[in-house]
Amino acid sequence: MSIFIDNTTTLLVQGITGRDGSFHAKQMMEYGTTVVGGVTPGKGGQKFEETVPIFNTVAQAVAATGANTSVIYVPPPFAADAMMEAAAAGIKLIVCITEGVPVLDMTKVYPYVKEMGARLLGPNCPGLITPGQSKVGIIPGRICAPGPVGVVSRSGTLTYEIVNLLTKAGIGQSTCVGIGGDPINGTNFIDALAAFEADPQTTVVAMMGEIGGTDEQEAAEFVRTKMSKPVVGFIAGQTAPPGRRMGHAGAIISGSAGTAAEKIEAFEKAGMGIAKRPMDFVELVKARL
């Protein structure tokens, strides 16, 4: 089992002929993901890698291929339209890798996608991977292995580090999910935690948060009241000065709510295992398997 994607996922790549889209489309195909089509306006009728048909619109692509998932590699000014186009065409999982999408754009995209009954992951995220089954996004497949640990993180590179440490220790993953670090994103910690709680393969969850906002505190309360599975957590940015943005647009401390100390305290109250350093995850997870 897994969450959000598996070997039945059929994928469209929006922006498949661009630099990033073409590179990562090849990577996903080599991993074994079923890429059924690409979308680049004006290039409909062409083929990618001689086998993948390219369409002018998502609606045309869905009608021809029956795709259920889309991944977006388009420049920030066009990303909002790309997400809404995918939702309007009936795509059920939309993964937006694009970084730098204006927050104002996301205030329009988020409710629209919800209204259309789709799940959005991102923007500004590395995507997700169910090891051995499907990869949607940019998480390196070679560092992942099938297993019982669900991984969810706001940070892409931190996701890679934790997954790599777990795999080297012989601990595989059910699904690894990067939710992104922007102030408004489509899927939050609670969405992923609830899915992992319902997934019979997942027995432990590794959760990586960071300073800024209150998502981690809300997730900790969900863990305390709704989850039967153990969760191990880490907060990045523990030495960041107040008011300083640290990499992600959402990682800004305002008052006391967004500090690392406040988030760690919430983790402690929820009975979560707390990693002081990324390398601590291995022993904390092992003790809970």
Confidence of residue 256 (pLDDT cuts 50, 70, 90): low
Residue 70 and residue 24 share a domain: yes
Domain end marker among 73, 94, 121: 121
The pLDDT tens digits of the residues spanning 105-128 come to 999 999 999 999 999 999 999 999
Residue 152 and residue 114 share a domain: no
The pLDDT tens digits of the residues spanning 162-194 come to 999 999 999 999 999 999 989 999 999 999 999
Residue 155 and residue 112 share a domain: no
DSSP E strand stretches across the chain: 10-14, 34-39, 47-48, 52-55, 69-72, 93-96, 119-121, 127-130, 134-137, 146-153, 173-178, 204-210, 231-236, 273-274
What is the reported pLDDT for 245? 54
Residue 128 lies in a domain: no
Residue 45 and residue 94 share a domain: yes
CATH number, domain with residue 95: 3.40.50.720
Residue 69 lies in a domain: yes
- Least confident interval from 21-30, 134-143, 231-240, 243-252: 243-252
Residue 110 and residue 26 share a domain: yes
Residue 251 lies in a domain: yes
Give the mean pLDDT of 260-284. Answer: 95
Query: Model-level pTM?
Result: 0.94
- Please tell me the total count of domains within the chain: 2
Residue 127 lies in a domain: no
Residue 181 and residue 105 share a domain: no
The range of the structural domain enclosing residue 244 comes to 139-286
Which residues are known to be catalytic? 248
User: Are 133 and 5 in contact, with CB atoms under 8 Å apart?
Assistant: yes
